[in-house]
Amino acid sequence: MNKLTTLLFFLFLFSNNNSFAQVNYTANDRVSPYNGKFRYGTNFGYYPGWLDLQTADVVVGNGTLPGIGIDAIRGSLPQHFLEAWNYEIRVDFYDHYKSLGANDHLVFVGYPKEEDKDPVEYCAGAKSELIFKNMYEPIWDGGANGTPYNDENEYAAYLYKIVSNHTAHVKFWEITNEPDFATDVGKAFGAPGQPGNWWDNAPEPCDMGLKAPIYHYIRMLRISWEVIKTVDPTAYVTTGGLGNPAFLDAICRYTDNPNGGAVTADYPLKGGAYFDVMSYHFYPHFDNSLRTFNGLDWDYHRNSDSAAKGLAANKKTFQDVMAKYGYDGNQYPKKLWLISETNVPRKAFNNIYFGSNEGQINYTIKMLIEAQKENLTQIYFYNVSDNQPESQAGWEFNLMGQLKYLGDYTYPNYEVNDQGVALKTTHDLLTTKKYEKELTEKMNFPSNVNGGVFVGNGDTTAIVWAKTTLDQSEIASATYDLPSGTSFSDSEFFTWDFSRTNAPIDIVGNNIDLTGTPVFFKISGLGNGISSTQTIDNQLLANIFPNPTNGNFQITLETEKRGQANISILNAQGKLVRWIKKEENLRSGNHSFEIENDLPKSLYFVKIDLKENGQRTIKLMVL
């Protein structure tokens, strides 16, 4: 988004000079680009004796504990929990996560307290655990009860309060978890033309864990869009970790009209208008990523390359649905993408599924590379800890932790699984870098080799491995020669366990003997590292307080490197009103500026450019 578009966008939202204005656009009109860094995330669980604050210390790192390469957390803020305690109870937790270096989190919402659940049994004998009562009441009431939202609409009220409390921390709001969970798999995954399939028919309440009409879920999306975008226009509304493209198709072909999802004056838009990020779940060990049908039987290819490759194939099934309904960048804006749950098991408990320690190590690294090739914004592993001690585990999902079962330890003691080691190595070597498609193509990988090139922080790093092709095996080998004119920028490469050993391995010559496990190395002579996929408009960590303001205000910003700062105030037309700092050299770290203000009451923008770091941000300020 260019500067003029950004200015017009915020002017559009705040044209009446009010500190509160309802959103008046949808995802059919715009999807804001995400300019943050790719985030390496995990899902928190419950572990006896552990607070989330302590778990965060372990996985993010707190100066004493090294962390395991996590910089974003997928959590939940259910209404029943916040109503029982208070809506600010987790703010300090998220402040702590930010202090450790984790931010732009994903939170899934919903789960009403008993008296706020929709009392209607749309599936006889089963009340929905996800749907709120009164969702078809107006979302806004013009402040009639002293709040901008309609207090009678419990879901809108709940959302307004949680988003207001977490604008500094949560960037992605996921609308419930797995609303497409199927209780009738035959209908849910049936092909078009089969009885009851979801491509041709609205999913029945009794066939879903939702236990309510799909139009009610679309209503949740609509309320979520209006409330979240009104409170925090920079936040994103995501689907609820979907696993079924037919359910997505139903979202896109129906409105929130309780009368069959029909288009009317009161229900003018279908569900695709009310989310800007497609969040999906990806478990390749059982989603057909690791087998193909040959016409008579299944051919299996249970290995880490097939698992990682399944990420793009899985995304495409959803992307094809989005394109079918015009979300292709032409008719409507394209969606952003993230995966809120993924992993493969460390152990298989039958002869069908893929699962091994080596396979999990390799999948972790390869999947993170493929995710950035596919331009995903974030990845969240399931789960931060094993769900049980390994000796007691009875199925694959119990052994997907980056850590051993935390219930067997007391803070600050813990044990890292090899997956956590591989995750930290990947994060530490790549977190300041961006994937470069053009430079990757210059590597001229042969057909039996895969990898990627990442650029940033003053160097170019390549990740390379021999493709695994055998069923139930991670054995692979290949020799890779660097392209002509390139060379190793130092004589060492880094194995998957570098974060544990801190011992790089020397390289001799200009080629590498590869296995199925990726290696990392720095390279020179490949190019300047700037391609069409890279942007210099990275987002600075900057805030204005108070905002709106009646007078003086404070600007705080965080810089990763030393740079020359230009900070100015622009009016609503984008014209310079005042310089705050001009060509001032700033060291890396945190900065705070107290601004005495005597500007007329209006809408202004604070523009911050940090030249040497190529970073820019524009913040809205309301007087």
Contacts of residue 242, Cβ cutoff 8 Å, sequence gap at least 6: 178, 179, 180, 248, 278, 279, 280, 281, 318
The type of residue at 471 is D
CA distance 194 to 214: 19
User: What's the mean pLDDT when you consider all of the chain?
Assistant: 90
Give the pLDDT confidence of 450-499 residue by residue, as tens digits: 999 999 988 899 999 999 999 999 999 999 999 988 888 888 899 999 99
Query: Is the pLDDT at 35 greater than 50, yes or no?
Result: yes
Q: What is the mean pLDDT of residues 228-252?
A: 97
Residue type (1 letter), 328: D
* Residue pLDDT, tens place only, 269-292: 999 999 999 999 999 998 999 999
Q: Which amino acid is at 349?
A: F
pLDDT at residue 14, as a whole number = 40
Distance CA 514, CA 462 (A): 13
Per-residue model confidence (pLDDT) at position 618: 56
- pLDDT, mean of residues 244-253: 98
- Phi and psi of 539, rounded to 5°? -90, 125
| Whether residue 535 has pLDDT greater than 90 | no
pLDDT exceeds 80 at position 586: no
- Residue 118: pLDDT band (50, 70, 90) is very high
- pLDDT at res. 510: 79
pLDDT at res. 180: 97
* Residue showing tokens 């300020």: 621
Neighbours of 513 (CB within 10 A): 10
Average pLDDT over residues 83-109: 97
The predicted model gives 121-133 an average pLDDT of 96
Q: Would you place residue 532 in the very low, low, confident or very high pLDDT band (cuts 50, 70, 90)? A: very low
| Residue 126: closest CA among 188, 210, 198 | 210
pLDDT at position 511: 85
Can you list the domains of the chain with their CATH numbers?
A: 1-30+536-623 (2.60.40.1930), 37-427 (3.20.20.80), 434-524 (2.60.40.1180)
DSSP classification of residue 88: T
560: left (phi over 0), alpha (psi -120 to 50) or beta: alpha
Q: What pLDDT is attached to residue 262? A: 98
Please state, in angstroms and rounded to a whole number, the distance separating the CA atoms of residues 180 and 520.
39
Q: Pick from 198-207, 575-584, 599-608 the range whose average pLDDT is largest.
A: 198-207
Look at 70-74, 145-149, 166-170 and tell me which has the smallest mean pLDDT.
145-149
Backbone angle region of 237, left / alpha / beta, with phi > 0 → left and psi within -120 to 50 → alpha: beta
Share of the chain above pLDDT 70, in %: 90
> Is the pLDDT at 17 greater than 60, yes or no?
no
At residue 572, the pLDDT reads: 59
Cα separation, 564 vs 609, whole angstroms: 8
Q: 203-227, pLDDT tens digit by residue?
A: 999 999 999 999 999 999 999 999 9
Terminal CA-CA length for the chain: 24
Token pair 């194995």 is found at 495
CA dihedral 309→312→318→319, nearest 10 degrees, is: -150
Q: What is the mean pLDDT of residues 13-32?
A: 72
Mean of pLDDT values over 517-544: 65
Tell me the chain's radius of gyration from C-alpha atoms.
25
**pLDDT for 10:** 41
**39 pLDDT higher than 60:** yes
What is the average pLDDT across 596-601?
81
* CB-CB contact of 419 with 361 (8 Å): yes
CB burial of 490-512 (b: ≥16 within 10 Å; e: otherwise) equals eeebbbbbbbbeeebeeeeeeeb
For residue 613, the model assigns a pLDDT of 55
pLDDT band at residue 408 under the 50/70/90 scheme: very high
Cα 343 to Cα 45, 199, 281, distances in angstroms: 15, 28, 9
Judged against a pLDDT cut of 90, whether residue 156 lies above it is answered with yes
